[in-house]
Amino acid sequence: MKALYLKELRSFLGSIIGYIFIAIFLILNSLFLWVFSYETNILEGGTADLKPFFGISPIIFIILIPAITMRSFSEEKRTGTIELLFTKPISDLTIILTKFLAGVTLVFISILPTFIYYFTVYRLGDPVGIVDDGATITSYFGLMLMGACLVAVGIFASSITNSQIVAFITAMFLSWFLFLGLDLLAVYSQFGGLDLVLRNLGMMEHYTACQKGVLDTRDLLYFLSFSFIFILSTKLVLQARKW
């Protein structure tokens, strides 16, 4: 598994794809946080916290993560190498997990440089160090968990088609719907008691909860279960090729 994981990771970092992903993520965040005159601008907001960053990042991930996961299986299907891949003496689940972990690692690497935002806000605070460290730490955990979920969604979308474009569009729609769509449906208050259910099924509710300084076990279980469901769904899709 280690060798396959490193191979998948090299497919990102050994080509320009991974570096473009990281660069776009950091550039967009930097522009919205420090340059553009918008409500997310930290300097204009006058508050020493990273809430704008944790508000923008998921939206950027919804677009970028499908772009790096779209070729996970669709390219293997298109070129016919998927059959060769699955003849290796490793389980389908292991293959899926290596692709998933490689994608999560790339997300983690892209988040690491943003700690400079924390140190900048820390120094800009009046008094210095007024930043809520607890909320910042749990927010980073929440962002990482949400990113992992989107990687799982992207890999699933890639497993159901041999077209990278279709995989990208499908993953982006599913990511948007599961992160924002369900929450928007709940806001309309047209489903009675189901409004609360819809809200709790969506990622937004649990991601926002992570920004309060306490990492609730229920939110952690939600993200882990979410990733597991899409990894399992990917396994079922790939197993269908044998039926």
Alpha carbons 183 and 197: distance in angstroms, whole number: 10
- 131: which DSSP letter? S
Nearest-CA neighbor of 29 among 1, 61, 8, 53? 53
The predicted-structure confidence for 12-60, as pLDDT tens digits, reads as follows: 888 888 899 999 999 999 999 988 888 888 877 767 788 899 999 999 9
The predicted-structure confidence for 141-184, as pLDDT tens digits, reads as follows: 999 999 999 999 999 999 998 899 999 999 999 999 999 988 88
Secondary-structure percent of the chain, ordered helix, strand, coil, rounded to 5: 80, 0, 20
Residue 84 predicted with pLDDT over 80: no
User: What is residue 6's predicted lDDT score, i.e. its pLDDT?
Assistant: 85
Strand ranges (E), the chain:
none
User: What is residue 243's predicted lDDT score, i.e. its pLDDT?
Assistant: 45
Is the Cβ–Cβ distance between 153 and 237 less than 8 Å?
no
Residue 227 predicted with pLDDT over 50: yes
The predicted-structure confidence for 97-130, as pLDDT tens digits, reads as follows: 999 999 999 999 999 999 999 998 888 777 777 7
Nearest-5° Cα angle at 79, 75 to 83? 95
| Residue 112 neighbours by CB distance under 10 Å | 10
